[in-house]
């Protein structure tokens, strides 16, 4: 005679055999979610320092534009030459009420020159704005009575993964408020 087969124990309420399957399924779903979010996380971590640097540089640019606006508003005229510097793509001479001012573009920034307070004839550097990634172009708007405004076009230019990107692209127009005939 054969012995009777062993009876299986009755199923428990927690059904322990399903836990392994559930763990495998959860690990698979976790791997899928991590694979999807890794690209986003990597992009954020790589882009964040560049974005912060761009924002800092844009803040410096805004300070420059505020000073330039003040100088253009108080300008009598936009001469061809001031303080021995000729007007051109790298220099913006202004004859203001307070005296001559010249903005020059240098590698990595913009410099503001004023007349030497000691009267030695050489232009004195009053302020420098470091803008290594900023492209600045200026152009005088001229009418029949002479120049009446300055247009400034700016943007930040940065190389990202082999291609150039432009950020914060803007154009500003600053009008000359004071004309020579209105000056005392």
Q: Give residue-wise pLDDT tens across range 151-179.
A: 999 998 888 788 888 888 999 999 987 65
Give residue 15's pLDDT. Answer: 57
CB-CB contact of 131 with 61 (8 Å): yes
pTM, whole model, 2 decimals? 0.70
- Return the SS3 of 172: strand
Q: What is the percent of the chain with per-residue pLDDT over 90, rounded to a whole number?
A: 27
CB-CB contact of 158 with 171 (8 Å): no
Q: Give residue-wise pLDDT tens across range 48-91.
A: 888 888 889 999 999 999 999 999 888 888 888 887 788 888 89
Cα–Cα distance between 99 and 94 in angstroms, integer? 8
Cα–Cα distance between 102 and 123 in angstroms, integer? 9
- Identify the CA nearest to 129 among candidates 72, 70, 57, 71: 57
């Amino acid at each position: 005679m054969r012995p009777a087969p062993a009876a299986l124990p009755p199923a428990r309420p927690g059904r322990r055999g399903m836990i392994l399957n559930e763990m495998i399924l959860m690990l698979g779903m976790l791997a899928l979610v991590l694979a999807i979010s890794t690209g986003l996380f990597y992009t954020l971590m790589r882009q964040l320092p560049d974005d912060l640097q761009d924002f800092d540089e844009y803040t410096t640019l805004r300070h420059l534009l505020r000073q330039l606006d003040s100088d253009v508003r108080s300008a009598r005229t936009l001469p061809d030459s001031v303080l021995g510097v000729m007007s051109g793509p790298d220099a913006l001479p202004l004859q203001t009420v307070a005296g001559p001012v010249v903005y020059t573009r240098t590698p990595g920034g913009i410099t503001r020159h004023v007349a030497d307070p000691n009267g030695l004839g050489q232009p004195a550097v009053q302020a420098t704005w470091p803008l290594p990634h900023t492209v600045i172009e200026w152009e005088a708007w001229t009418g029949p009575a002479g120049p009446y405004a300055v247009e400034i076009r700016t943007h930040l230019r940065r190389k990202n993964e082999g291609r150039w990107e432009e950020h914060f692209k803007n154009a500003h127009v600053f009008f000359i408020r004071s004309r020579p005939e209105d000056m005392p």
